[in-house]
Chains A and B, each alone.
Chain A
Amino acid sequence: MIQRNPILDFVSHLILGIGVLVVIFPVFITFIGSTQTAEQITSSNPISLWPGNNFLESYRLALFGGKTSGGSTIAPVAPMLWVSLITALTIAIGKIIISLLSAFAIVYFRFPLKNLVFWMIFITLMLPVEVRIGPTYAVVSSLHMLNTYAGLTVPLIASATATFLFRQFFLTVPDELVEAARIDGAGPMRFFWDVLLPLSRTSIAALFVIQFIYGWNQYLWPLLVTTNEDMYPVVLGIKRAIFGEIYVEWNVVMATAILAMLPPALVVILMQKWFVRGLVDTEK
């Protein structure tokens, strides 16, 4: 054991403490702001660091919308949270399903053009949505998928990282299991369902956490394919709240920001073990 050095220990705790404060401070300020009234915020210099008593009203306005005294119309965030939830779940579950299937085909079957298929999936890593926004938008629009859940999710569902993660994992599954399954007369799908899937539970959980956050936080893609406010995910709601009206209700913007980050932050904190695993595994 290395000897302890009390001074260094103190410095370590000090630096970590400052780090934690810097990480939490912006959220603290935003939360405080969301408990005040819009007039209180815009007339203050600087904003008060004590919570105001407008908490319920700010969040009611943010969640359910309505007219404000300033004359702005607030779009309700509750339906946007619902859109975000559906989108994030569809993307996460969809990615897991199609990646499991294609990884199973690539690892457990021999078929013509297998290498080509493998490389085609690999190359998609090099084509993030940001580098092909114009043409992808054109494709989605010609398929009449604008302002639909399909348009929001399907183009983001293909994932090379998830396919590779499952491929790596399947390669570590002992061959004896396949042999045993075949002796028992089980076909490939039976083997997939009864043996491979239960063994992959940990990888699936880890991947789910990462992909849920990925789906929830998408911004550029929904910005392009949704023009109808009914189909806005909550991250776009924030932009709508800031730039949508002449008179910005900052307390509502702050409440919306808190509401938008709460679900994924809770997922990370409550599923921390899977999250860390998923993050490290997908980057291997």
Chain B
Amino acid sequence: MEKRVLFRSAWLPWLLIAPQMTIILVFFFWPAGQALHQSVLQQDAFGTTAAVFVGLENFRQLFSDPTYLASFKTTAVFSLLVASLGLLIALLLAVMANRVVRGAPVYKTLLIWPYAVAPVVAGVLWLMMFASPYGVVAYALQQMGLPWDHLLNANHAMALIVMAAVWKQISYNFLFFLAGLQSIPHSMIEAATIDGATPWKRFWSIVFPLLSPTTFFLLVINVVYAFFDTFAIVDAVTHGGPGKETAILVYKVYYDGFKAQDMGGSAAQSVVLMIIVIALTVVQFKYVEKKVNY
């Protein structure tokens, strides 16, 4: 798509795009190229010898490293839980908020503000409720005969970061579901009601199919969120522990590169992450095209 009327100038457009181009060349393309370059080099941790070209050796090592494969699995479980729980709870709340006549704006205001909470703060809030001995939820669980210990029990640690991550993301999903629900024509629901469809049936045969583009879009966004934006939650709540049980991929890139000083391995991990982001972006792009054809 283009404008019919354009301005003419040989230098002005270049001047206008210069700031953006400078930043993306220096801070995006150059580092991304470096990551690609480093991922095929190997250097000892002290930098005493020159880096040698090793081809795909870093990647071969990466994928034969059980802790990396375990991190992949951890990330998959984590993202699946965060995305499915976050979408389910938000959908339920949005459907309810769309139903009620009185108080809907108040509910909306009270539900959306966690979007503004930094992931690290979300992590700390949930930590406070589950820390022993003073955490109220940990105490309640203890009373029910379910001792809680996220420092030693891997499942508890995973549950804690999932809860914090979902808590923060519900507001976002809720807003998009609510917008999706409000765009469904009222006449369709009315027609189904006149034909005798129960609310349950109306939801599954009309509302849910019409929401499917929103749901799919949110699914991609939530997976990206779980992959990348939750680093702060993991770093503040579990430090990837106990052991390496909650070390998601982004945490591992950070840990291996900055704590363990394995630059080649960390760069190879960065490249793998880039490929994942590219795949997700392509999937999302395909969906956008489909939406246009509706």
Q: Does B70 reach chain A (CB closer than 8 Å)? A: no
Q: Does A246 reach chain B (CB closer than 8 Å)? A: no
Q: Are B135 and A163 in contact (CB under 8 A)?
A: no
Q: Are A117 and B17 in contact (CB under 8 A)?
A: yes
Q: Are B35 and A220 in contact (CB under 8 A)?
A: no
**Min CB distance, A259 to chain B, in Å?**
10
Q: Are A134 and B38 in contact (CB under 8 A)?
A: yes
Q: Does B14 reach chain A (CB closer than 8 Å)? A: yes
Given known A-B contacts A23-B111, A121-B20, A132-B270, A220 and B254 have beta carbons under 8 A apart: yes
Q: Are B121 and A127 in contact (CB under 8 A)?
A: no
Given known A-B contacts A9-B99, A26-B129, A213-B115, A131 and B232 have beta carbons under 8 A apart: no
**Min CB distance, B239 to chain A, in Å?**
9
8 Å CB interface, B64-90 against A: 89
Q: Are B199 and A8 in contact (CB under 8 A)?
A: yes
Contacts of B274 in A (CB 8 A): 126-127, 131-132
| Most B Cβ at <10 Å: residue of A3, A22, A105, A264 | A105
CA distance A114 to B212 in the complex (A): 36
Q: Does B116 reach chain A (CB closer than 8 Å)? A: yes
Contacts of B30 in A (CB 8 A): 135, 139
Contacts of B26 in A (CB 8 A): 139
CA distance A171 to B32 in the complex (A): 31
In the complex formed, the residue of B with least CB distance to A233 is: B118
8 Å CB interface, A219-250 against B: 219-220, 223-224, 235, 238-239, 242, 250
Q: Are B125 and A128 in contact (CB under 8 A)?
A: no
Q: Are A158 and B6 in contact (CB under 8 A)?
A: no
Q: Does B59 reach chain A (CB closer than 8 Å)? A: no
CA distance A131 to B27 in the complex (A): 12
**Min CB distance, B289 to chain A, in Å?**
13
Query: Quick check: which of B40-48, B49-57, B168-176 contacts chain A, the rest being far away?
Result: B168-176
CA distance A15 to B31 in the complex (A): 48
Q: Does B124 reach chain A (CB closer than 8 Å)? A: yes
CA distance A100 to B31 in the complex (A): 25
Contacts of A124 in B (CB 8 A): 24, 28
**Min CB distance, A260 to chain B, in Å?**
5
Q: Does A178 reach chain B (CB closer than 8 Å)? A: yes
CA distance A30 to B126 in the complex (A): 9
B-facing mask of A259-284, CB < 8 A → 1, else 0?
Answer: 01100110111001001100110010
Given known A-B contacts A132-B35, A265-B116, A109 and B124 have beta carbons under 8 A apart: no
Q: Does B21 reach chain A (CB closer than 8 Å)? A: yes
Given known A-B contacts A15-B92, A121-B24, A219-B232, A134 and B263 have beta carbons under 8 A apart: yes
8 Å CB interface, B242-294 against A: 250, 253-254, 257-258, 263, 266-267, 270, 273-274, 277-278, 281
Q: Are A280 and B118 in contact (CB under 8 A)?
A: no
8 Å CB interface, A1-56 against B: 1-3, 5, 8-9, 11-13, 15-16, 19-20, 22-27, 29-30, 33, 41-42, 44-47, 49
Q: Does A254 reach chain B (CB closer than 8 Å)? A: yes
In the complex formed, the residue of B with least CB distance to A104 is: B16
CA distance A206 to B17 in the complex (A): 23
Binding site for A on B (CB under 8 A): 1, 3-10, 12-14, 16-17, 19-21, 23-24, 26-35, 38, 89, 92-93, 96-97, 99-100, 103, 107, 109-122, 124-126, 128-129, 133-136, 138-140, 167, 170-172, 175-176, 179, 189-190, 193, 199, 217, 221, 228, 231-232, 235-236, 250, 253-254, 257-258, 263, 266-267, 270, 273-274, 277-278, 281
5 contacts between A and B (CB under 8 A): A19-B92, A109-B9, A121-B24, A134-B258, A280-B176
The 4 closest A-B pairs by CB, nearest first: A46-B139, A135-B34, A135-B31, A105-B16
